[in-house]
Amino acid sequence: MQDLQKGKSPATMPARTTTAKGRAAEDQALEYLKAAGLALVTRNYRTPGRGGGEIDLIMREPDGTLVFVEVRSRSSNSHGGAGASITHIKQRRIIFAARWYLMRLPALPKCRFDAVLLSADGVQWLRAAFMADAA
């Protein structure tokens, strides 16, 4: 009730909690990938305008491969778990954002789309979770 007195609506309060959970999941995935030898290129890359896509993490392998990473976190495995939440539509948006990102580079590097899934069971890193021709 005190939050309502500060001008916060109940509809906006869960979004902050969800955002904080998402940020914490990305932090955990980032540390996991850095420990595996990848370097951060950028975080939360978004295409301009509406209807575009977002890439949670863009990393670089020691061999120069650019890795576009989708981070998903689920507290339970009901409904297929974290991996099942990366739908075909979500994949298309990530691929769209990756293409937008790559357009600004002078040369196209080797690329891959990975997923880092966080659950009560731990961290699962799926290399080449999906392909660009999935769009």
Q: What is the pTM of this model?
A: 0.81
pLDDT in tens, 22-49: 899 999 999 999 999 999 999 999 998 7
Spatial distance between the Cα atoms of 8 and 1, rounded to a whole number of angstroms: 10
**Per-residue pLDDT, 10:** 47
Higher pLDDT, 96 or 19: 96
**Segment 75-133, tens digit of pLDDT:** 655 555 566 668 898 999 999 999 999 999 999 999 999 999 998 888 999 999 999 87
Q: Does the structure show a pLDDT above 80 at 135?
A: no
Residue 2 has pLDDT above 50, yes or no: no
Domains of the chain, CATH where assigned: 2-134 (3.40.1350.10)
118-128 pLDDT, tens digit each? 988 889 999 99
